[in-house]
Chains A and B, each alone.
Chain A
Amino acid sequence: MVISASLVTWFSGPTLQTAPPIGDWVALTPVLLLGLTALILFVIDSIDPDDASNTPALAGTAAVGTVLALGAAVVLLAAGIGQGQGGALRLYGGQLIVDGMALFFTVIFTSVATLVIVASYDYLADRVYQAEYYMLILLAATGMTLMAAAGSLATVFISLELASLPSYALVAFLKDNRGSVEAGLKYFLIGALSSAIFAYGISLVYGATGRLGLDAIAQQLSGGTQLVGILGVGVLMVAGGFAFKTASVPFHFWAPAAYEGAPAPVSAFLSSASKAAGFVVAFRVFAVAFSPDAVAASVDWTLAFWLLAAVTMTIGNFAAATQDKVKRMLAYSSVGHAGYVLIGLAALNAGQNGLVLGASMIHLLVYGFMNTGAFLFVALAEHWEIGRTFEDYNGLGTQAPIACVAMSVFMFSLAGLPVGGGFMSKYFILVGAVGTGHFVLAALLLINSALSLYYYSRVVRSLWFEDPADSLSIDGYPVGLYAAVIGAAVITFLLLPGIFLASDVATSAASALFA
């Protein structure tokens, strides 16, 4: 198998180049570029805040910033920075860690941010506060890239807040729209609650170990601990904080409201990038700090994730199947996909850690494109103002065939049919679950995927096989939105044959956590 082959080359030491010694700021280029772009946007908007004619400059700067950050992340990843023999780069006393996983997820965040910004140019046309919108997107993206590199619970918490606070404002961006404001408030209140729980969990873990650095916690715990009760409650609370960020049960109920009420590009950003950010932090904290070998004997958190994965994917998919509105269906399907990814955490400590965690990472990469694309198609429909339900999409294929082909690719790929990378990534997760003996999770994954095919294909049926309503008319083909939707579709499709490029990187990055 290709994955095991990549593992062999990864372990065969001498043939690999060691990363050259580089300055701290070079390894952090993607983060710095995103932050710097946000500051440049502040300056541009300060020149003449009331002038609406600088919108192209704002959108252009934001897009260039994210593309540069994406390029930097890809170059660093390809150059083997923080990977291979040299091991992860520990910056600022281990507060930040740049390794394969951090860079891999940075690629996801910056790709999604680029698609969302390109699409937003048309979506936001004639709206006020555009500068603030792009600033908040970039600041949230900065927070997410920092989350991917966070090396201690303190930086985890701060970067999580840096990603969350702009998100609350973004959800409530349409401030004259009741649904948007309500969604923003709901998201904020549940976010504040889960942040409090998360911070309390950190304090309990600190109480049990006396350390905040992830490596230091692992070292402390490897000798066993007297305070199993405190540690256990702390671990559970930390897991709760991640469940909020990833929209998993039991903190998932904000997701349908927030994704439905928010402007569709923001829903795309939150359901793809923000979810991936929650997962990368969860992977790092649970794989490194509460590493399964050391902690699972006293606090068996893989069991907790086993339950969360099973419940999350079932609830998400069953709720999605009963929806009338496309955006709400996508929101629940996003909860379901969080359940699939959680299998990666549930199946740890069974001897194939790199493989199962790598499978989850690949699924998040593919999901970043196909889910963003699907939400951006909804943004396109909102731009045309054709309505929100499945019936409103009837016969759209006759009017906008290209976008509808793209949407069909997203839907089938999300369902796990072999028209996009979603098939391969789900297959990897399935292989991981079966390979580690989690047959119940594997069965649930198959059942839920079959169920999801039902509601995803409802969209496709509406687009192509239903007769259009007489009133259906669309005005214009917005270039930015079209470019983003088609770009996402092309990459989703290319990830079907090209998945092995990503899977090698993901598996070796995941294995490096356990080395």
Chain B
Amino acid sequence: MASPWIAIGALALVAIAIPLGMMVVSSLLRPTVEEQGKSATYESGEIPTGSTRIRFNIQYYMVALLFVIFDIETVLIFPWTVIYRSAVGSAGLVAALVPMLVFIGVLVIGLAWAWRNGAVRWVKSPRAEQRRQERQRQ
């Protein structure tokens, strides 16, 4: 007869009743004052300016991509360094070292190419530059 579900059901009832009760009681007790400021997005007194759709510089994206490459490189190098000594002992220096050198070499070629093609050159925004000059003139 004492099914554990009875206790769970009772708990669920209480869990629903308490927040509902609190909301009902507070709505009975509190005074209602009509005021516009309550419907503002931020009630901190700060007035929002502009929309949320700001364009970020595309270069953040390039930097993030380069970061991911190095991140994954680290993930592979870490376990390799841990077993490196025993791997050299069992498989020899060449078998333990060369594959990692090839892996890093491929990444280095890619990084050098990205570098030469200006992936890490921080391009100045012409519009921001223009605004700065306008401010200086004033």
- Cβ contacts under 8 Å, B118 to chain A: 49
Please tell me if the beta carbons of B106 and A46 are within 8 angstroms of each other in the complex.
no
Contact flags A34-58 to B (C-beta < 8 A → 1, else 0): 0000010011011101000000000
Most A Cβ at <10 Å: residue of B109, B112, B113, B118: B113
**In the bound complex, CA of A327 to CA of B113 (Å):** 35
Give the residue name and chain of the B residue nearest to A45 (CB).
B113
Contacts of A49 in B (CB 8 A): 116-118
A-B contact pairs, 21 of them (CB 8 A): A39-B106, A39-B109, A42-B109, A42-B110, A42-B112, A42-B113, A43-B109, A43-B112, A43-B113, A45-B113, A45-B116, A45-B117, A46-B109, A46-B112, A46-B113, A46-B116, A46-B117, A47-B116, A49-B116, A49-B117, A49-B118
Which residues from chain B contact A45 at a C-beta distance below 8 Å?
A: 113, 116-117
Which chain B positions have C-beta within 8 A of A47? 116
Which residues in window 7-61 of A have CB below 8 A to B? 39, 42-43, 45-47, 49
Give A39 to B106 CA distance when docked, in angstroms: 7
- Give A11 to B60 CA distance when docked, in angstroms: 61
Kindly state the separation between the CA atoms of A45 and B113 in the bound complex, as whole angstroms. 7
B117 nearest CB across to chain A (Å): 5
- Residues in chain B near residue A39, CB distance under 8 A: 106, 109
CA distance A39 to B118 in the complex (A): 18
CA A470 to CA B111, docked complex, whole Å: 53
Q: Count residues of B near A (Cβ-Cβ below 8 Å).
A: 8
Contact mask A212-224 → B, CB, 8 Å, 1/0? 0000000000000
Bound together, the chains give a CA A217 to CA B112 distance in angstroms of: 42
Q: How far is the CB of B41 from chain A (nearest CB, A)?
A: 33
The distance from the CB of A131 to the nearest CB of chain B, in whole angstroms, is: 9
A46 to B109, CA, bound (A): 9
Q: A41 vs B116: C-alpha distance in the bound complex, in angstroms?
A: 13
Q: How far, in whole Å, are A45 and B115 apart by their CA atoms in the complex?
A: 11
A326 CA to B129 CA, complexed, in Å:
49
Chain A residue nearest to B116 in the complex (CB)? A46
Residues of A near B113 (CB, < 8 A) are 42-43, 45-46
> In chain B between 99 and 138, which residues have their CB closer than 8 angstroms to a CB of chain A?
106, 109-110, 112-113, 116-118
Q: How far is the CB of B1 from chain A (nearest CB, A)?
A: 37
Q: Please give the number of chain A residues whose Cβ is less than 8 angstroms from any Cβ of chain B in the complex.
A: 7
Query: What 0/1 pattern do residues 33 to 76 of B give for CB contact below 8 A with A?
Result: 00000000000000000000000000000000000000000000
CA A46 to CA B106, docked complex, whole Å:
14
Complex Cα distance A49/B115, Å?
10
Please list the 9 inter-chain residue pairs (A to B) with the smallest Cβ-Cβ separation, ordered nearest first.
A46-B116, A42-B113, A46-B113, A49-B117, A42-B109, A49-B116, A46-B112, A39-B109, A45-B113
- Cα–Cα, bound, A415→B106 (Å): 45
List A contacts of B109 (CB < 8 A).
Answer: 39, 42-43, 46
Instruction: For the complex, give the distance between the alpha carbons of A211 and B21 in Å.
Output: 55
| Residues of chain B lying within 8 A (CB to CB) of residue A42 | 109-110, 112-113
Assembly CA distance A47 to B112 (angstroms): 10
Whole-angstrom distance from the CB of B64 to the nearest CB of chain A?
17
Task: Give the docked Cα–Cα distance between A90 and B90 (Å).
Answer: 22
* Neighbouring B residues of A43 by C-beta, 8 Å: 109, 112-113
Give the complex CA separation of A39 and B113 in angstroms. Answer: 10
Q: In B76-114, which residues have CB < 8 Å from any A CB?
A: 106, 109-110, 112-113
Q: Which residues of A contact B110 (CB under 8 A)?
A: 42
Extra inter-chain contacts (9) besides given A45-B113, A46-B109, A49-B117, CB under 8 Å: A39-B106, A42-B110, A42-B112, A42-B113, A46-B112, A46-B113, A46-B116, A47-B116, A49-B116
Return the chain A residue nearest B105 by Cβ. A39
* CA–CA, A466 and B116, complex, Å: 52
What is the distance, in angstroms, from A102's C-beta to the closest C-beta of chain B? 22
Give every chain A residue within 8 A of B106 (Cβ-Cβ).
39
C-alpha spacing A464/B37, complex, angstroms? 78
A47 to B117, CA, bound (A): 10
Of A43, A45, A46, A47, which is in contact with the most chain B CB atoms at under 10 Å from its CB?
Answer: A46
Chain B residue with minimal CB distance to A47? B116
CB-nearest residue of chain A to B117: A49
Give chain B residues whose Cβ lies under 8 Å from the Cβ of A46. 109, 112-113, 116-117
Cβ of A34 to closest chain B Cβ, rounded Å? 14
Shortest B78–chain A CB gap in Å is 20
Residue in chain B with minimal CB distance to A132: B117
Q: How far is the CA of A420 from the CA of B15 in the complex (A)?
A: 77
Give min CB distance, B131 to chain A, whole Å.
28
Bound-state Cα–Cα, A47 to B116, Å? 8
Question: For the complex, what is the distance from the CA of A42 to the CA of B106, rounded to whole Å?
Answer: 10
**Nearest A-chain residue to B106, judged by Cβ:** A39
Complex formed: what's the CA distance from A45 to B118 in Å? 12
Chain A residues, Cβ within 8 Å of B116: 45-47, 49
Taking the closest CB of chain B, its distance from the CB of A249, in whole angstroms, is 35
**CB proximity of B105 to chain A, nearest CB, Å:** 9
A142 CB to nearest B CB, Å: 12
In whole angstroms, what is the CA distance A39 to B110 when docked?
8
A35 → B minimal CB distance (Å): 9
Q: CB-CB < 8 A to B117: which residues of A? A: 45-46, 49
Residues of A within 8 A of B112 (CB): 42-43, 46
Assembly CA distance A134 to B113 (angstroms): 14
Q: Which B residue sits closest to A41, measured CB to CB?
A: B113
Chain A window 162-180, contacts with chain B (Cβ cutoff 8 Å), 1 for yes, 0 for no:
0000000000000000000
> With the chains together, A39 CA to B109 CA distance in Å?
7
